[in-house]
Amino acid sequence: MRLLSQWLNDDHMQQRGTGQAQAPNQPPVADQDGSAAIEVVDLVKLYKTTHAVDDISFRIARGSITGLLGGNGAGKTTTIAMIMGLVLPTSGRVSVLGAKIPEQRYDVLGRMNFESPYVDMPMRLTVRQNLTIFGRLYAVKQLRERIDQLATDLDLKEFLDRSNGKLSAGQKTRVALAKALINEPDLLLLDEPTASLDPDTADWVRQHLETYRKTHNATILLASHNMLEVERLCDRVIIMKRGKIQDDDSPERIMARYNRDTLEEVFLDVARGRLREGTS
């Protein structure tokens, strides 16, 4: 995850450094054709001899919530980074909201957003200043009202004028979520969205994400190590291991296939190489 934060910081610096915002509110690239929110075909990322991502393919339907699971080093972050166009694939194709990535990424970046508690925002700036900068990068209209709305929705009012460096981990996570929603994205990529939140706040964030998906018909792809969260939120689960897709189905069908009652048990089966029902 540290690597992803580095890529992201570099990316934002590049956009600011060139003085060119990312043309966020451009007309949508041809996605009226019913194309998937995300399409990944035969995707490979090879780092010297490490197959970080090893020939994976999937399509993610619009308006769905998909969980990307897998142990440490399974290839989740690299997959998400390639979907965002931050890492170039060794081979294979990615398209997002009908646009080829990375070639046409600037056509759709304004309709996407990303959140990870591992990516810090500038510490000396206040929450309001940070949200203002990101809102301007996305050319959000009526930005002040949008920030007020997010502050109400995500309960940030109490520390809106406090610098980011003086927030608790849980408060930072809520601010990071506000940043991810600032442009009302059609596609939200989340990395452990409830890490470091207490159970009550985590539950509240999950509810917020579910509501956001419903009200905006948004598509959410989230990497998580929290199996209960994935069971609760996701219509579909993609399990990765050593760069490959090990399983891909609804949580219910996956649990049935492994003859398990929880995704946590399935995760342990996959991690420890135990076979699912019906495989030899």
Ligand X SMILES: Nc1ncnc2c1ncn2[C@@H]1O[C@H](COP(=O)(O)OP(=O)(O)OP(=O)(O)O)[C@@H](O)[C@H]1O
Q: Tell me which residues touch ligand X (CB under 6 A).
A: 1, 3, 47, 50, 52, 70, 72-78
Asked whether the beta carbons of 213 and 60 are under 8 A apart, the reply is no
Q: Which is closer to ligand X, CB of 133 or CB of 228?
A: 228
Q: How far is the CB of 186 from ligand X (least distance, A)?
A: 24
For residue 67, give the DSSP letter: E
- Crossing angle between the packed helical segments 169-181 and 127-137, to the nearest 10 degrees: 20
Give the nearer residue to ligand X in terms of CB position, either 120 or 184: 120
Q: For ligand X, give the closer residue by CB, 3 or 30.
A: 3
Judge contact between 104 and 39, C-beta under 8 A: no
For the bound state, the minimum distance from the C-beta of residue 75 to ligand X, rounded and expressed in Å, comes to 4
Question: Which residue lies nearer to ligand X by CB, 3 or 169?
Answer: 3
Dist CA 51 CA 100 (whole Å):
23
Between 69 and 209, whose beta carbon lies closer to ligand X?
69
Helix (H, G, I), strand (E, B) or coil at 120: coil
* 3-state SS class at 219: strand
Residues 6+ apart with CB under 8 A from 217: 62, 63, 186
Cα–Cα distance, 57 to 93 (Å, whole number): 9
**Of 77 and 130, which has the nearer Cβ to ligand X?**
77
The sign one gets for the Cα dihedral 271, 272, 277, 279 is positive
Please give the Cα distance from 202 to 222 (Å, whole number).
Answer: 14
Closest CA to 99 of 174, 187, 21: 187
Cα angle vertex 70, ends 87, 86, to 5°? 10
| Closer by beta carbon to ligand X, 75 or else 85 | 75
Contacts 24+ apart (CB under 8 A), 203-208: 205/173, 205/174, 205/177, 206/232, 206/233, 208/153, 208/154, 208/177
Nearer to ligand X, 94 or 140 (CB): 94
